[in-house]
Copies of this chain bind each other. A is one copy, B any other.
Amino acid sequence: MALKFEVTKESEKTRARLGTLETKHGYIETPVFMPVGTQATVKTMAPHELEQLGVEIVLSNTYHLYLRPGSDLVAEAGGLHSFMNWNHPILTDSGGFQVFSLGKLRTITEEGVEFRSHLDGSKHFISPEKSIQIQMELGADIIMAFDECAPYPADYEYVKESKDLTTRWAERCKAAHTRTDQALFGIVQGGMYKDLRRESARELMDMGFPGYGIGGLSVGEPKELMYDILEDLVPIMPKEKPRYLMGVGSPDCLIEGVIRGIDMFDCVWPTRLARHGMVITRQGNISVRNLPYARDYGPLEEGCSCYACQNFSRAYIRHLIKANEVLGIRLTTIHNIAFLMRLMKDIRSAIASERLLEFRDEFFSEYGGKK
Would you call A77 and B325 a contact (CB within 8 A)?
A: no
Would you call A319 and B43 a contact (CB within 8 A)?
A: no
A44 to B329 CA separation, bound complex (whole angstroms): 10
Does chain B have a CB within 8 A of A69?
Answer: yes
**Taking each of A43, A69, A307, A312, which has the highest tally of chain B beta carbons within 10 Å of its own beta carbon?**
A69
Nearest CB in chain B to that of A45: its residue: B327
| Chain A 63-88 per-residue mask, 1 if CB under 8 angstroms from chain B, else 0 | 00000110001001110000111000
Q: A68-B322, A315-B69, A319-B69 are in contact. Are A327 and B295 (CB under 8 A)?
A: no
Q: How many copies does the complex hold?
A: 2
A41 to B40 CA separation, bound complex (whole angstroms): 26
A277 to B311 CA separation, bound complex (whole angstroms): 29
Would you call A326 and B43 a contact (CB within 8 A)?
A: yes
Within 8 A of B (CB), among A320-350: 320, 322-323, 325-327, 329-330
Would you call B43 and A295 a contact (CB within 8 A)?
A: no
Would you call B41 and A294 a contact (CB within 8 A)?
A: no
A326 to B42 CA separation, bound complex (whole angstroms): 10
**Taking each of A78, A311, A325, which has the highest tally of chain B beta carbons within 10 Å of its own beta carbon?**
A325
A326 to B316 CA separation, bound complex (whole angstroms): 20
Would you call B46 and A319 a contact (CB within 8 A)?
A: no
Return chain B residues, CB-CB under 8 Å to A326.
43-44, 326, 329-330
Would you call B83 and A316 a contact (CB within 8 A)?
A: yes
A316 to B85 CA separation, bound complex (whole angstroms): 9
Interface size on A, residues (CB 8 A): 36
Would you call B84 and A41 a contact (CB within 8 A)?
A: no
A325 to B295 CA separation, bound complex (whole angstroms): 30
Would you call A316 and B40 a contact (CB within 8 A)?
A: yes
Would you call B68 and A319 a contact (CB within 8 A)?
A: yes
A297 to B73 CA separation, bound complex (whole angstroms): 10
Which of the residues B41, B69, B313, B327 comes within 8 Å of A327, measured between beta carbons? B41
Return chain B residues, CB-CB under 8 Å to A313.
77, 83
Would you call A312 and B69 a contact (CB within 8 A)?
A: no
Return chain B residues, CB-CB under 8 Å to A40.
316, 319-320
Given A39-B319, A44-B327, 6 new contacts (CB under 8 A)? A39-B325, A40-B319, A68-B319, A73-B315, A83-B316, A85-B312
24 A-B pairs whose Cβ atoms sit less than 8 Å apart in the complex: A39-B320, A39-B323, A39-B325, A40-B319, A40-B320, A41-B320, A41-B327, A45-B327, A46-B330, A68-B319, A68-B323, A69-B319, A69-B322, A73-B294, A73-B315, A73-B319, A77-B313, A77-B316, A83-B313, A83-B315, A85-B311, A85-B312, A326-B329, A326-B330
